[in-house]
Amino acid sequence: MAEYDLTSPLLSPRSSDQPQTVLTVDEDSEPSDQSPSNHQPPLQTHNDEKTTLTSSNPYAFLGSDAHSVPAPTTVDPFRNGTPFISGVYEAVKIVLCLPIMLLRLVLFGACLAVGYIATRIALEGWKDKQNPMPKWRCRIMWVTRICARFILFSFGYQWIRRKGKPAPREIAPIVVSNHVSYIEPIFYFYELFPTIVAAESHDSMPFVGTIIRAMQVIYVNRFSPASRKNAVNEIKRRASCDKFPRVLLFPEGTTTNGKVLISFQLGAFIPGHPIQPIIVRYPHVHFDQSWGLISLAKLMFRMFTQFHNYMEVEYLPIIMPPDNEKLSAVHFAERTGQAMASALNVVQTSHSYGDLMLLMKAAELQQERPWSYMVEMARIESLYHISSLEAVDFLDKFLSMNPDTSGCVKLHDFSRGLRLKACKLSEEIFGFLDVEKNGSITFKQFLFGVAHVMKKPLFMQACELAFAECDVRGDNYCMKEELSNILRHAIPDLNEDEVHGLLNLFDSNNDGRISRDDFITCLRKNPLLIALFSPRLLQKDFSRGGDRMLQDIV
């Protein structure tokens, strides 16, 4: 079993479109069609395509059968409900609050400055930061904590409703919370003064970076396995020592709009210590305080120009770790997520930070409906082990295919994006992805299709064999002439410009040679193109070793 790390997603979070369904997935399982046949039903002819798409599976040589794609979800866990100022009441309120905003800005700036100075004094000369902060330094930090409460006051949180109480640190050394805004870290800093787990980028933030260093923050790079492993070990060490403050984590890994919980990362649950969940709500009518696709400056302006912002904090009962260590991290996270979702009266979806990356990428490239490119990444990661960074790269490829306003791509644009001409093979590849047989594909269908192909155990073997066919001189470089012949074997009527376009795709560094690394990297970035080599691989007479691999493929 793979070792869990700080950012491992839940294996089976609740689906947003089926909140009462629990899906159990085996480690090696993947979505499959209900039909036992490997052949897909023929596609209908579409007038705008003017082509009858064929039904052959171009990846059957990898052992691939027809695959299924979960239905798209309409849930957007990151969208702010009031991104714009609307209504006469809100406009008048903002005008009336402008003088108050100036006073709040002065209070905010003064508190930040005083807190920063107090923190610098508390940190002065302290070098042994691997051990708990001395008590006299913690007493100085009380000045900063009081400043944090006044900062909350300046943002309009004159009072904060609390329900329940924090458990003693000796009983629950780890606390977890949902994450809606930048307000929760300020509140927890004042209320609990915990050790937090934060992204490395926070250290460079002016003023704030210095203050969170005083909290003996555990930094993590979510994209570095080594960093995640070190962070988990540090969480274990500090949670096991009563002299350290309790450890606070936001297991969702990013902010949401508070209307759902997204999949939990496992860093808080691996150590196996009792956990106290905390939930935060922001009741509102005219102004949604969640940090969605809205700038920090705009969010702060809206907070400063409200008479009062409502915040509710509820401390939930402690959740004990499972007795069976083999069931620990995933089941512990599931139980905690269910308790928090129940208390919030929301569902838990399979979205993750990776979906936010996809959303921001689509918004950056000015797609009309950027939320339609979210795919519930936690599900894909657990089924296919596709990372968020790989998914963003595949989104780049998909967006290069010129999707329409609904986020769908037609056959012509799909073929052009893969540098293929309209032919039987491109129709077969497109038909493999078009599981709904409506003549267009969404990004979710595209990503599930490429992930399905890449997960096949024979995929990498096929890539190696394809390169061996092109490396006729045995010098670990692909001969362009041989690659051209193989491409024409798959698509006989390729012209010189079309062949040149495909060759440039493999020669990523434009040095005129295609190395093994160039070749394999190209197929990993464009796994659908492995179908170009299937005719050659299935008919070539290999040596004994090659025959053995070929028999596996057949």
284-297 confidence digits (pLDDT tens)? 999 999 998 889 99
For residue 551, what pLDDT is reported? Answer: 56
Under DSSP, the state recorded for 220 is: E
Contacts with 268 (C-beta within 8 Å, 6 or more apart), sequence order: 174, 176, 235, 247, 249, 251, 275, 333
Q: 270: how many CB neighbours lie within 10 A of its CB?
A: 23
For residue 65, what pLDDT is reported? Answer: 83
d(CA 195, CA 247): 5
For residue 8, what pLDDT is reported? Answer: 52
Domain segments of the chain: what residues?
A: 88-344, 353-455, 457-539
For residue 29, what pLDDT is reported? Answer: 42
Residue 483 has pLDDT above 90, yes or no: no
Reference 13, options 324, 346, 279; nearest CA is: 346
d(CA 296, CA 290): 11
The mean-pLDDT minimum among 43-57, 309-323, 380-394 falls in 43-57
For residue 5, what pLDDT is reported? Answer: 54
Angle CA 94–99–102, to nearest 5: 105
Residue position matching structure tokens 């376009």? 501
Helix (H, G, I), strand (E, B) or coil at 178: coil
Confirm if 538 and 63 have CB atoms less than 8 A apart.
no
Which amino acid, residue 464?
Answer: E
Residue 222's pLDDT band (cuts 50, 70, 90): confident
Under DSSP, the state recorded for 238 is: H
Residue 503 has pLDDT above 90, yes or no: no
Superfamily per CATH, domain 457-539: EF-hand (1.10.238.10)
d(CA 139, CA 491): 74
Q: What percent of the chain has pLDDT over 90?
A: 63
Reference 166, options 138, 148, 193; nearest CA is: 193
CATH topology of domain 88-344: Glycerol-3-phosphate (1)-acyltransferase (3.40.1130)
Residue 529 has pLDDT above 70, yes or no: yes
Contacts with 137 (C-beta within 8 Å, 6 or more apart), sequence order: 122, 123, 126
Confirm if 187 and 312 have CB atoms less than 8 A apart.
no
Reference 440, options 485, 408, 479; nearest CA is: 408
Residue 156 has pLDDT above 50, yes or no: yes
For residue 63, what pLDDT is reported? Answer: 87
Going from the C-alpha of 372 to that of each of 67, 247, 388, 445, the distances in angstroms are: 21, 36, 16, 12
d(CA 213, CA 119): 9
Which amino acid, residue 43?
Answer: L
| Mean pLDDT to the nearest integer, 178-203 | 92
pLDDT digits (tens, 9 = 90+) for 79-115: 999 989 888 999 999 999 999 999 999 999 999 999 9
pLDDT digits (tens, 9 = 90+) for 346-357: 999 999 999 999
Beta bridge partners of 478: 514
Reference 191, options 151, 148, 154, 158; nearest CA is: 148
For residue 6, what pLDDT is reported? Answer: 53
d(CA 436, CA 69): 9
Beta bridge partners of 219: 198
Select the more confidently predicted residue: 222 or 31. 222
For residue 16, what pLDDT is reported? Answer: 43
Instruction: Assign residue 422 a region (left: φ > 0; alpha: ψ between -120 and 50; beta: otherwise).
Output: beta
d(CA 285, CA 21): 31
**353-455 CATH:** 1.10.238.10
Residue 204's pLDDT band (cuts 50, 70, 90): confident
Both tokens of 380, joined, read 């894909």
Instruction: Confirm whether 88-344 and 353-455 share one CATH topology.
Output: no
Q: How do strand 195-199 and strand 247-249 relate by DSSP bridges?
A: parallel
Which amino acid, residue 146?
Answer: I
d(CA 426, CA 424): 6
Q: 447: how many CB neighbours lie within 10 A of its CB?
A: 25
Residue 173's pLDDT band (cuts 50, 70, 90): very high
Residue 327's pLDDT band (cuts 50, 70, 90): low
Beta bridge partners of 512: none
Beta bridge partners of 410: 440
Residue 11's pLDDT band (cuts 50, 70, 90): very low
Determine the length of the chain: 554
